[in-house]
Structure 1
């Protein structure tokens, strides 16, 4: 009876041991199998038999893993301190090498990404870090992939997420950007003045070819002044019309009279001798006479 009970116990334990030896691998997993410490062929997805105490299996996930690199304190090529963080997407391509080549491929990839990030950013200046981030991302992915390829890990994407610079440097960059915009505004204004002067010169040349066009321009100006309901109307006169009158007035000869003719006397009459006229006394407010 005791022998039967012992046999039943042994059979039960064997049944439990055998039932516990069944393992299920998901479609995105692969199993690296060891039997008595020796590497066995890789196990595919599905139900696999792993005998307890004899075999051991390491599950390897083949999906893309997202790894966040914590902020790293770096100094750029132009001696500007900055804090840079990034994200790394990697995938295991060889399960056997990921287990046999490194103890923990995720931790190793994270540490390698941090050191490579500091090294690559330290070789670039601040302008490159801010404006040419895509080139730095490609350089990071290439350098990290060269280190992780012997482990059966392929780096898919490396992206620099954020770049933090000191507040003093931010204010200096803001002043620089403001000065650059002011310089562009002055250049644009100067170009506008140059183009306007060229257009005005061409317009003046066209108007000078036909005096009637200039008179029409005067009339249009009067129309624009009258549209504003102004109480004062300015009549512009061209200098070529009033110029002769001004010259005659400055010489003391009325317009239309020959030069050398005395003013205020009809033509052909002799001038009368000037007579002395007695001056009347002028009364001054204080009572004295002059």
Structure 2
């Protein structure tokens, strides 16, 4: 009989001892309540409780990631948007998280939703789209103020997405396209301005050196002449004709002599008729044709120097031709050359 009672006592003691054993994890803290009053905060490890007297509430000390459901609101510039966010927080005081609030997780979620709707109404659409860092800090302060009284610290709050109406999306797309087109036009105008300035500088530099301008003209002629289906009409300058005249003195001299002789013959008066010699009568109805006035034909130049000069346009000898034009002795008689240039 005594042995039976002893066995029963041992069994009851074992059950009571097992019921009073608690294990606190490394990431938890245990708030010990004895007869309803906070007794202590237990650290991680195995803890013994008095059955029926002590009670332990475990609180996780890890960072909690809580998504905030999308909240619909109207911004300060009267645009309807839907914004969702995420909150990162952790418990810093397990006693207050147990005593001050019934469920700190639910409380933080509700405060986050109301704060998000409040921040939407205080902000403009541009701020929600481009200035999220400042809005995140403001939202963090709004949630952290009441959460500190519950022993909870808000580590971070981030706005995840801003949903816009479809009509507003199309309008913003058109606005962005117009802005890109404006920038492209500005860049094109700046490029044209820089090009015109460079062209003005190049024209000023070439104006200081006439030989460079003539060389540029000859290079352009060579480029155009490369096309077989093109016809060139070149207004030869007087200097070029003078160069050709100097190259062909044997052909220009006789023609100049003949041109100088013709005006002398025209200036000589007609021989008077001898006295008594009758003039040839004119038949009735016969008209006397007026004598044609002598005209001076343009002197024909030897085509050989012209051919040589045009062939030199495609070779490095262009510079030599220009140097010949610039020599003081290149200016000669301009009678035949001037007439040809005018023609």
Counterpart of 2:165? 166
Q: Name the CA shift for 1:5/1:276 in 2 (closer, same or farther; >3 Å).
A: farther
Match of 1:266 among 244, 254, 263: 263
Q: Name the CA shift for 1:224/1:29 in 2 (closer, same or farther; >3 Å).
A: same
Q: Which blocks of at least 5 consecutive residues in structure 1 are unaligned?
A: 243-264, 279-290
CA distance in 1, matches of 2:207, 2:59: 90
Q: CA deviation at 1:268?
A: 6.0
Counterpart of 1:256? none
Q: Is the 8 A contact 1:222 1:235 kept in 2?
A: no
Counterpart of 1:69? 68
Counterpart of 2:276? none
Q: Is the 8 A contact 1:218 1:236 kept in 2?
A: no
- Once the two structures are superposed, what CA deviation does each residue of 1:135-187 show, in whole Å capped at 9, x if it has no partner? 10111111111110111100001011111000100000001111111111122
Counterpart of 1:80? 79
CA distance in 2, matches of 1:277, 1:52: 159
CA distance in 2, matches of 1:78, 1:192: 39
Q: Which blocks of at least 5 consecutive residues in structure 2 are unaligned?
A: 241-261, 270-285, 290-343
Q: CA RMSD in A?
A: 2.5
- Within 5 Å, give how 1:209-220 maps onto structure 2: 209-220=208-219
Q: Name the CA shift for 1:124/1:271 in 2 (closer, same or farther; >3 Å).
A: farther
Q: Name the CA shift for 1:209/1:65 in 2 (closer, same or farther; >3 Å).
A: same
DSSP 3-state at the match of 1:27? coil
- Within 5 Å, give how 1:239-250 maps onto structure 2: none
DSSP 3-state at the match of 1:69? strand
Counterpart of 1:28? 27
**Structure with a larger share of its residues in helix:** 2
Counterpart of 2:98? 99
Q: Name the CA shift for 1:233/1:104 in 2 (closer, same or farther; >3 Å).
A: same
Give the length in aligned residue pairs. Answer: 253
Counterpart of 2:10? 11
Q: CA deviation at 1:119?
A: 0.5
- Within 5 Å, give how 1:50-199 maps onto structure 2: 50-199=49-198
Q: Which has the larger radius of gyration?
A: 2
- Once the two structures are superposed, what CA deviation does each residue of 1:20-54 show, in whole Å capped at 9, x if it has no partner? 21111111100011111111111111011122221
CA distance in 2, matches of 1:101, 1:142: 20
Counterpart of 1:201? 200
DSSP 3-state at the match of 1:208? helix
Q: Name the CA shift for 1:52/1:183 in 2 (closer, same or farther; >3 Å).
A: same
Counterpart of 1:45? 44
Q: Is the 8 A contact 2:225 2:232 kept in 1?
A: no
Q: Is the 8 A contact 1:101 1:150 kept in 2?
A: yes
DSSP 3-state at the match of 2:190? helix
CA distance in 1, matches of 2:263, 2:31: 135
Q: Name the CA shift for 1:198/1:7 in 2 (closer, same or farther; >3 Å).
A: same
- Once the two structures are superposed, what CA deviation does each residue of 1:212-243 show, in whole Å capped at 9, x if it has no partner? 0011112222343355x43315365488879x
Q: Is the 8 A contact 2:61 2:90 kept in 1?
A: yes
Using the size of structure 2 for normalisation, the TM-score is 0.68
